[in-house]
Each structure stands twice: as C-alpha cells, then as structure tokens.
Amino acid sequence: MSVSKILVSQPVPMNMTPYDAVKEKFGVEIDFRPFYLIEPLTSREFRAQRLNILDYTAIVFSARHTIDAFFHLCEELRVKVPETMKYFCTTEAVAMYLQKHIVFRKRKIFYGNGTPQSVVDLIGPKHKAEKFLITTSGSSNNEAITRLFEAAKLDYTTAVFVKSVPQDLKDVDLASYGLIAVYNPADLVSLKENFPDYQPGQTRFITFGRQIAKAAEEAGLPVAINAPTPEVPSVAKAIEVSLEADK
C-alpha cells in the first residue's frame, strides 16, 4: 500500500527536523493530533484512594505533570509538605522541574538515569527505611517499578495523581491515513470512544513501547513496526523504515 498521509497521536514536537526529513524524502504529509490529554485528579477523586500524603516520607516522580498535580492537590487539600520530605525522580529533567514548586537547594532530591532500576539504586540501604509514595497516571503500567520495589523489600504505595481524558477526534478522517503512530493505551481508549465501530482497513499502526504494542495487538490493530529498538529508536525512524519497506 502506498502511504501519502501519516497521523501521529502527539502534539506537534518542538524538534520537527526528523519528521521534515521524512516528508521531504518520501513526499508524505504528517499530521499531529493528541488523542488524549493528561489532567490532574480532582481532590474528590484523589480522596477516593483513601491516602494520606503525610503518611509518607519520600515521593517518587517520573513525569512533570504528576509533579504539578501533586502540589496542586496538596494546596487544595491544605497539606503542608514538610521540608524533610525526600524526592526521588527518574531523570534530572524531572528533578529540576521541582524548582517550580519548592526551593530546590533546601530539599533532599535525588535523580536517576531514566530507568526504574536507577531509582531503586539511589534508594539503596541509606534510604531503605523511608515510606515511599509512587506517583502514577491512571493509564500507566507501574509493574516495572513496583516489581523492583518489592524485590528490594521497600515500603511503598502507588497513588494516581493524573488521568487521561480522551479528546474529540470525530473531525479526523482516519481512513485517509496509511500509518497512525500511537504511544499509550489511552490513545486506543480515545480511538474506541470516538469511533466505536472503527475498522482499520488498509491503515497500519506504529506503536511506541511494549505496553501499547500489546494493547494494539489485543485490539486487533495491524502493527507495522513497534519502537523503540536499537535499529528503530524513534517514531520518526519507524515511519521512515515503514515507508522504505513499502517501496
């Protein structure tokens, strides 16, 4: 099948260079449209989890939007986070984002290299006695980090701070796209909500991550390529490889 239009279920990226190169090389059109948005839980939704933030002595963050949601909820619930609270972040970028809400130099902040294992390594024996609250999204799969916390015999609880809200996609002509790139199972939830009777026809999907690849397979969607891999580290590269194969 000759592909002329491609849909990526994300906002327009800041760096369009890889996509512009694909467009120029293959003469295709690439559109960007988020299938869902991340929104913080309301205080009522958070209370339903029956958690008391002050019961914990350390918070684990893996994304900026959960940081915003955490401090927003603390303010709304009138929870004063003590200066003794420890923060463990998956990356330096996430850790630096804490400066938006707290005085960075006065707090105990640690960050890893992007992997769950790096967070557990940071904790080590020195911080093993802490009570950890792992902040999550309602659509995320937390098995990778919780499995490691359990193996390390750490005292932890997971808590949802943000939710995925499907966007209105009814103006999108999905049949006009030969490739659709999806990143999160929430993309497929939104797809189903907007198009209950959707059939892919000649459209193929590019998935980014094992979780979405599994969800696409279970939904019966034809997956052209699953990224990331050493050979296909990005969605732009996956699009290029798929178009090359169609020649």
Give a yes or no: residue 169 inside a domain: no
pLDDT in tens, 178-230: 999 999 999 999 999 999 999 999 999 999 988 899 999 999 999 999 999 98
Q: What is the pLDDT of residues 86-99, one digit of tens each?
A: 999 999 999 999 99
Same domain, 47 and 146: yes
- pLDDT tens digits, one per residue of 26-68: 999 999 999 999 999 999 999 999 999 999 999 999 999 999 9
Q: Note the pLDDT of residue 67.
A: 97
Q: How confident is the model at residue 247 (pLDDT cuts 50, 70, 90)?
A: confident
The answer as to whether 58 is a domain residue is yes
**Amino acid letter at 193?**
E
Give how many domains the chain has, as a whole number.
Answer: 2
Do 73 and 153 sit in the same domain of this protein? yes
Q: Decide if 186 is inside a domain.
A: yes
Using alpha carbons, select from 58, 60, 61 the residue that is nearest to residue 127.
58
Mark whether 194 and 229 lie in a shared domain: yes
Same domain? For 213 and 115 the reply is no
Structural domain that includes position 235: 5-35+177-245
Residue 174 has a pLDDT of 96
Residue 171 lies in a domain: no
Shared domain for 117 and 228, answered yes or no, is: no
Report residue 137's pLDDT band, with 50, 70 and 90 as the boundaries. confident
Within a domain: residue 131? yes
What's 211's domain CATH number?
Answer: 3.40.50.10090
Q: Which residue has the higher pLDDT, 60 or 246?
A: 60
Render 136-199 in DSSP notation, one character per residue. EETT---HHHHHHHHHTT-EEEEEEEEEEEE---TT--GGG-SEEEE-SHHHHHHHHHH-TT--
58 & 141 share domain: yes
- Of 118, 138, 164, the last residue of a domain is 164
If asked whether residues 191 and 159 sit together in one domain, one would say: no
- What is the value of pTM for the model shown? 0.76
The residue among 131, 164, 197 that closes a domain is 164
Residues 31, 44 within the same domain:
no
The answer to the question of residue 133 being in a domain is yes
Calpha distance 30→231 (Å, rounded): 22
- Residue 110 and residue 55 in one domain: yes
Measured distance CA(112)–CA(98) in Å, rounded: 15
Residue 60: what pLDDT? 97
49 and 150 share one domain: yes
23 belongs to a structural domain: yes
Q: Return d(Cα 167, Cα 193) in angstroms, integer.
A: 9
Q: What's the mean pLDDT when you consider all of the chain?
A: 93
- Distance (Å, whole) CA 94 – CA 89: 6
The residue from 103, 135, 164 where one domain ends is 164
Is residue 170 assigned to a domain?
no
The answer to which of 80-84, 93-97, 210-214, 232-236 has the lowest mean pLDDT is 210-214
pLDDT digits (tens, 9 = 90+) for 101-133: 998 776 799 999 989 999 999 999 999 999 999
Q: Find the largest Cα–Cα distance for the chain.
A: 60
Residues 117 and 156 in one domain: yes
Q: What is the pLDDT of residue 141?
A: 67
**Could you count the other beta carbons within 10 Å of the beta carbon of residue 114?**
15
Report, as an integer, the average pLDDT of 228-239: 94
Average the pLDDT over each of 16-20, 141-145, 157-161 and give the range with the smallest value: 141-145
Query: Residues 50, 156: one domain?
Result: yes
